[in-house]
Amino acid sequence: MITNQEFSCRIPHHKVINQKIVYVVIFVSHSYYSAKVHHFRYSDAEKLHNKIEKQLQQLRQCVNLPSFPGKKLFGSHNDSKSGILRRRSDLQEYFNQLLKIEKLYSLSCLKQLLPDINDEKSDLVQYLQDKPLIQYSFMIDSYQQLEMFVLYSVQVIDNLNKTKWRFKTRYSDLRDIHQALKEQTKIILPEFPKRKIFGITNDDPQEIENRKCNLEVYLNQLYANPELNNSDILDYFIQNSKRESKKLQKYDEQKILLKMKLIQKLEKEKQQDEKQEKIQQNNENSKNETNKNDISRKNSMKRIPRKGLFIIKEMQDKYEDDNTTLIRYSSIASNPLNQIDYIQEYEKVNLDVNKQNMEYIDEDNLVENGESKSEIKLNDHQQ
């Protein structure tokens, strides 16, 4: 069973009536889970095929129909059971190929064969339709200017069923409907909007606006004529517009869904960019903090006083200066001979002290020696 389309066909068996083969044809609706049974002879199916071709020509609709199963050149399929089964299979395949073309659902000759059509009229609606009441009204509220043609957005209002729908059509499509009516009926039709004599209407926005208004008036006048209420051509136009409306609605839903997905994707990318930017900023702040710490560490190292051999050498020079000062002031004694012995003994003792201090000198000793130097100088001045 075919499930990827709205309708399908099955021919499960056949009957022999008055030596004629009658096929049991079942049309199944996948939307409404219902079926409709018909009994067709081969000639009945062939007549249906010819009716469909004729109505399409009247409506000026270009549709590639499937090939109808042909007859045998010699003999008949009914002569053998295998021939009957083969023809039954060919007819089932033909009807399934036919039902793949959605435009054909609106044709009156095929529509009456299908089960549970959603737009079938009840007896009350049919009674009201027979009255001189305008059932359909039209409003063309916008248009879309494309490169080669203009698409008009038409809103249809069903005043009896209190429903409305929207579809898109071209100027040439409406002109074909008008021409088909003109050929099939002798009723006086409203005047169809004419083309420009010079230039192209699609290039002039004002001309497009005028044509839009004229087409709206034409459709309302056409369906207001009670003599055209039972026209197959106008009924086809209405039914086909409903199917186009469903397609348009589905397309709009898909478009909205894609737009929402795109917005979500952009939001996600924006959040990722903000997160990455924040991480990068934190890394830069950490790097700057590290550089500041390195600079402060280097500055603190520069403020540390020098220690080691240079300080020891400076202190040794100070000790030598102190010894020289002592010798200079002690040379003023009255007895030169005693003084010489005293000086030699003092230098010997002082040399031992200097050697001992140089081996164990540290920062504390340096401070104490500095204080002792000040005391020695003070004593020298007092003497």
Q: What is the pLDDT of residue 125?
A: 45
Q: What is the pLDDT of residue 138?
A: 93
- Please say if the pLDDT value at position 79 is more than 70: no
Cα separation values, 86 from 37, 48, 175, 176, Å: 21, 20, 44, 40
At residue 3, the 3 state secondary structure works out as coil
Domains 7-111 and 132-252 share a fold: yes
Short-list 151, 205, 35, 33, CA closest to 25: 35
Q: What is the pLDDT of residue 344?
A: 60
Looking at the chain, the whole-number percentage of residues with pLDDT higher than 90 is 20
Q: What is the pLDDT of residue 2?
A: 41
Q: What is the mean pLDDT of the chain?
A: 75
Q: What is the pLDDT of residue 44?
A: 93
Q: How confident is the model at residue 286 (pLDDT cuts 50, 70, 90)?
A: confident
Q: How confident is the model over 301-311, as a mean pLDDT? A: 51
Q: What is the pLDDT of residue 129?
A: 47
At residue 209, the 3 state secondary structure works out as helix
Residue 82, amino acid: S
Question: CA 114, CA 30: separation in Å to the nearest integer?
Answer: 11
Q: Running DSSP on this structure, what letter comes out for residue 224?
A: T
Q: How confident is the model over 280-305, as a mean pLDDT? A: 70
Q: How confident is the model over 55-68, as a mean pLDDT? A: 89
Task: Give the helix, strand, coil percentages of the chain, each rounded to 5.
Answer: 60, 15, 25
- CA angle centred on 215, ends 211 and 220, rounded to 5°: 155
Looking at the chain, the whole-number percentage of residues with pLDDT higher than 70 is 66
- Ranges of each domain in the chain: 7-111, 132-252, 309-382
Question: CA 324, CA 318: separation in Å to the nearest integer?
Answer: 10
**Which contiguous run of DSSP H or E holds residue 368?**
helix 363-382
Task: Please tell me which residue, 337 or 349, carries the higher pLDDT value.
Answer: 349
Question: Which residues is 143 bridged to in the sheet?
Answer: 152
> Domain 7-111 falls in which CATH fold?
PX Domain (3.30.1520)
Q: What does the DSSP assignment read for 72-136?
A: PSSS-GGGSHHHHHHHHHHHHHHHHHHTT-GGGGGSHHHHTTSS--TTPPPHHHHHHHHSS---E
Q: How confident is the model over 15-30, as a mean pLDDT? A: 86
Question: CA 54, CA 279: separation in Å to the nearest integer?
Answer: 73
- Please say if the pLDDT value at position 186 is more than 80: yes
pLDDT tens-digit profile of 84-138? 888 888 999 999 999 999 889 889 898 889 886 544 444 344 444 444 457 899 9
Question: CA 316, CA 322: separation in Å to the nearest integer?
Answer: 10
- Please say if the pLDDT value at position 319 is more than 70: no
Q: What is the pLDDT of residue 348?
A: 62
Q: Which CATH class is domain 132-252?
A: alpha beta
Q: How confident is the model at residue 367 (pLDDT cuts 50, 70, 90)?
A: very low
Q: Which of 201-215, 242-256, 341-355 has the lowest mean pLDDT?
A: 341-355
Q: What is the pLDDT of residue 303?
A: 53
Report long-range pairs for 52-58 (Cβ below 8 Å, ≥24 apart).
52/98, 52/104, 52/107, 52/109, 52/110, 55/107, 55/108, 55/109, 55/232, 55/236, 56/107, 58/180, 58/183, 58/184, 58/233
Farthest-apart Cα atoms in the chain, separation: 179
